[in-house]
Amino acid sequence: MSQQAAQSRGPIDCHPQHRKLSFKIASTPAEFEAIHRLNHATFALEIPQHVPSPIGRLVDRYHSDNTYVVCLSGDTVVGMVAGRCSRPFSLDQKLRDLDAYLPPHRKAVEIRLLAVAPAYRHSAVFAGLVRMISRHFQDKQCDLALISGTVRQLKLYRHLGFRPFASPVGTDEALYQPMFVTLAALQRTDLFRSRGTRTRTVANFLPGPVAISAEVLAAAAAAPISHRDTAFIEQLGHVRSRLAQLAGARHAVVLVGTGTLGNDVVAAQLRGVDGHGLVLSNGEFGERLIDHARRWHLQFSALQYDWGRPFDWSQLQRSSRDSVRGGSGAYSARPPLVFLTQRNDCSPRALPLAPISASTP
């Protein structure tokens, strides 16, 4: 898949801005002939993926099954892209178990043979082709697009939301990166907004709310999958496995709820730890941890500071070294557990964990 294309037979307008561009599904013999010649110019001459032909035309092996979107400048084809949603895809022949790399989806389309004539590469051709092919296959109930993106244009594809998977395929001279994007996420990019409606991305440097990626929004907007469905069970198992790896734990569970619910579960687990612990608080969530600890009848002392004020690590080390009394009791020189939140909503300051690790077993 390439945005680049060499000149095909016949003259190319040297002043594309003088011609009105139109986009359509290819349907005439003349358009298909132009597609074969642009295919040869792009993927045999410019990108040496195929052996050049003396007649200057290259018919794609999936031609009879392809749907082509073409861009016309007058009567001249100056850009094209193809898509098909029937398996096997070309990537099925390059990657073993292609579906293992893909996120849950209803129906996938493989988009290929994207090519734009040189004189039109800095015009609206590329955007128009992508818009029309994605809308066409979304109407066919497709929700995921796959491409083999030329490594020459990876920055462009990443900007459009495409995510790479697996290792590059092809040859050193014609190397391609398998990538995917949900059609819903693709249609939220600038390609689908008129110039007057484009908005800047807002960066939030406060503790929350966090920005949500286009992929997550698209997944949330997609049709739900039954919890008894094989795809759901496999995805849940993968998530639990990754969470366990990140936490260094043997097991992990997924709970439907807020962070407060998660803290409550942690407090319940801490009931199995013997000894007198310490709960740290310098903000809203620290106060909640104290409440969790009390409701679960943990044995602990609370070290409380004004909201947003940094902890005095020398006091923490001194309290750990010398038995401190007060609050709900006393804890030993090295408390068996410290219950804390690393970041509070009231402060953008992240809590360093190294001093705590030095004060606990």
The per-residue pLDDT for range 215-268, each reduced to its tens digit, is: 676 677 677 888 898 888 988 998 999 999 988 889 899 998 888 898 999 999
CA distances, 164 to each of 150, 158, 159, 217 (Å): 11, 8, 12, 19
The whole-number pLDDT of residue 85 equals 94
Helix (H) / strand (E) element for 241: namely helix 230-247
For residue 171 the two structure tokens come to 């040859």
Average pLDDT over residues 313-335: 55
Cis peptide before 88 (omega within 30 of 0): yes
Rg (CA), the chain: 29
Banded pLDDT at 130 (limits 50, 70, 90): very high
Strands 67-73 and 76-84: antiparallel
DSSP designation for 188: T
Banded pLDDT at 336 (limits 50, 70, 90): confident
Q: How far apart are CA 302 and CA 324, in angstroms?
A: 11
Who has greater pLDDT, 325 or 194?
194
Average pLDDT over residues 95-110: 93
Q: How far apart are CA 221 and CA 223, in angstroms?
A: 7
Residue indicated by tokens 């003396």: 54
- 14-28, 46-60, 263-277: least confident range: 14-28
DSSP designation for 194: -
Please state whether the predicted TM-score (pTM) of the whole model is above 0.85: no
Residues near 13 by beta carbon (within 8 Å), at least 6 away in sequence: 19, 73, 74, 76, 78, 119
Cα dihedral sign, 324-330-331-332: positive
Question: What CATH class has 16-193?
Answer: alpha beta
- 84-93, 195-204, 275-284: least confident range: 195-204
Burial code (b: 16+ CB inside 10 Å, e: under 16) for 18-34 equals: ebebebeebeeeebbeb
pLDDT of 7 strictly over 50: no
DSSP designation for 3: S
Cα dihedral sign, 13-19-21-26: negative
- 63-72, 81-90, 154-163, 333-342: least confident range: 333-342
The whole-number pLDDT of residue 214 equals 65
Q: How far apart are CA 264 and CA 272, in angstroms?
A: 14
Share of the chain above pLDDT 90, in %: 42
Domain ranges of the chain: 16-193, 255-359
Classify residue 172 by burial, with Cβ atoms within 10 Å: 0-12, 13-18, 19+. exposed
Q: What is the per-residue DSSP string for 38-56?
A: HHHIIIIIISTTS---TT-
Domain 255-359 belongs to what topology? Aspartate Aminotransferase; domain 2 (3.40.640)
For 52, other C-beta atoms within 10 Å of its C-beta total 12
pLDDT of 198 strictly over 60: no
- 114 three-class SS: strand
Half-sphere exposure of residue 357, counting CA atoms within 13 Å on the CB side? Answer: 5
At 104, give phi and psi (nearest 5°). -55, 140
CA distances, 119 to each of 8, 79, 171, 217 (Å): 12, 10, 27, 37
The whole-number pLDDT of residue 8 equals 35
